[in-house]
Amino acid sequence: MEKIFSVTELARDLGITPRTIRFYEDQGLISPQRAGNTRVYTHRDRARMILILRGKQLGFSLRDIKEYLDLYVVDTTQTEQLQHLVKKARERITQLESQLQAVKTTLSELREIERVSLDTLTSRGIAVETA
pLDDT of residue 30: 95
pLDDT of residue 81: 87
**Does residue 69 belong to any structural domain of this protein?**
no
**Does residue 36 belong to any structural domain of this protein?**
yes
pLDDT category at 121 given cuts 50, 70, 90 is: very high
Strands 33-35 and 38-40: antiparallel
pLDDT category at 14 given cuts 50, 70, 90 is: very high
| pTM for the full predicted model | 0.77
CA dist., res. 26 & res. 24, Å (int): 5
CA dist., res. 113 & res. 106, Å (int): 11
pLDDT, mean of residues 3-27 = 96
**Does residue 51 belong to any structural domain of this protein?**
yes
pLDDT category at 52 given cuts 50, 70, 90 is: very high
Q: Indicate the SS3 state at residue 102.
A: helix
**Does residue 122 belong to any structural domain of this protein?**
no
**Does residue 68 belong to any structural domain of this protein?**
no
Percent of all residues in the chain with a pLDDT value above 90, rounded to a whole number: 76
- Structural element, H or E, at residue 34: strand 33-35
Query: Could you read off the pLDDT of 74-89 as tens digits, one per residue?
Result: 777 888 888 999 999 9
**CATH number where 25 lies:** 1.10.1660.10
φ, ψ (nearest 5 deg) of residue 129: -65, 140
Q: Is the pLDDT of residue 71 over 90?
A: no
Q: How far apart are the first and last CA of the chain?
A: 60
**Does residue 129 belong to any structural domain of this protein?**
no
- Domain residues for 18? 1-59
Cα angle value 69/74/75 (rounded, 5°)? 95
pLDDT category at 95 given cuts 50, 70, 90 is: very high
**Does residue 127 belong to any structural domain of this protein?**
no
